[in-house]
Amino acid sequence: MGVDNMLTEAIDILKHLPERYLEKALEAIREVKGELDKEDKGATPPCPECIGEEIVRNGHKHGKQAFLCRGCGKSFVATSKTALFNSRSGESVWKQVIRDTVSGVPIDKTASNLLLHHETVFNMRHKILFVIEQEENEHPTKLSGVCEADETYVLESYKGKRLPDGFWRKPRKHGAVAAKRGLSSEYVCVCAGVERDGNAVAVAVNRAIAGKDDIDRVFGERVSKSTLVLSDGAKGYSVLAGKCEVHGVEKDGGGFYNINTVNSYHSFIKERNRKARGFATKYLNRYTSLFSKVFRNTEGITDHIYDLLCDMNDRYHTNIESQTQNLLEI
């Protein structure tokens, strides 16, 4: 049984068990839960306030073991200051939601597989996306070696929002096409860069062709003297000339000087956007932060993202905060 489907398979088996076997299954699960509870009794996390280790147990809070730091006097639970604070779901549920988010599984399907409400999974997914974007903003991905850079365009979307009267365009169904041919104000420009051997980054910048300021904002702090940027020859990339080596690629060029890798990344972004029938534009940079992490790099990504959620570095935000703060406005 693959770990990616372990939880959903377990739930599916329980749903289809004859009633006479269900009690035995629950008894086995309770036995495992009891063993885990015994293991947890010996674990005491450090204080999230002072990182002190003089910790004692201090009753329970919201059904979770509470602790008291004798150093600073603060009371906390193991998930304090993490994105999992106040969550009733355990590690296995969170990891399955992460896997489904990484794979582009629709929220309704995840909710159905895990026997959760749509809104619960929606809130979990957006906490995951918020933390990933927060990490990228705090520690921008560095690009070194041979790096390909180019722009792609994604149809803007007001998914989940009712358009006001007199809006500049008529509402359209999810997955619909633009009203005008070619590039127009209906498209959002995404600057993307990919190392040929590793990291990727993508940031939505505006509704027009990327200018020098946009390119510098995306790549300026991410490149260094050890970076060779290959672009399609757009003049805007000359702004990086003092920070790294820049080389233009002819449209019919081949061999070493090509941008096939970044074009593949563009296709990945557009395919995920098509599969979701359009991401709400306000959340677009949260999804591009996710795509930057998972493009050609899915091994161990679930554990890595879960560790970010468990980080006590002020990762906790309410559902409202994670869905309204630092949104893309263009």
Q: What is the pLDDT of residues 130-148, one digit of tens each?
A: 999 999 999 999 999 999 9
pLDDT tens-digit readout, 221-268: 999 999 999 998 778 999 999 899 999 886 545 667 889 999 999 999
Strand-pair category, 64-69 with 55-61: antiparallel
Between strands 55-61 and 187-195, the pairing is: unpaired
In which residue are the tokens 């570095």 written?
313
CATH tag, 141-299: 3.30.420
The predicted structure's pLDDT at residue 41: 58
- As a whole number of angstroms, the distance between CA 234 and CA 215 comes to 11
Please give the model's pTM, rounded to 2 decimal places.
0.83
Task: Identify the pLDDT of residue 179.
Answer: 67
With CA atoms as reference, report the closest residue to 72 among 98, 47, 97: 47
C-alpha torsion angle, residues 285, 287, 293, 294 (rounded to 10): -150
| Distant-in-sequence, close-in-space partners of 204: CB < 8 Å, separation ≥ 6 | 154, 188, 189, 190, 191, 281, 284, 285, 288, 328, 330
**112-121 average pLDDT score:** 94
pLDDT at 2: 44
Question: Residue range 290-317: average pLDDT?
Answer: 89
- Whose structure tokens read 């959760």? 116
pLDDT digits (tens, 9 = 90+) for 180-234: 777 778 889 999 999 998 899 999 999 888 999 999 999 999 999 999 999 987 7
pLDDT above 90 (res 296): no
Segment 26-45 shows an average pLDDT of 71
More confident residue, 86 or 255: 86
pLDDT for the residue numbered 251: 54
Lowest mean per-residue pLDDT among 90-104, 129-143, 308-322: 308-322
Q: What pLDDT score was predicted for residue 225?
A: 95
Residue 230 is predicted with a pLDDT of 94
Report domain extents, the chain. 141-299
Inform me whether the pLDDT recorded for 37 exceeds 70. Answer: no
What average pLDDT is seen over the chain?
Answer: 87
- Give mean pLDDT, residues 298-320: 89
Mean pLDDT of all residues in 121-136: 96
How far is 157 from 172, CA to CA, in rounded Å?
A: 9
pLDDT of residue 1: 38
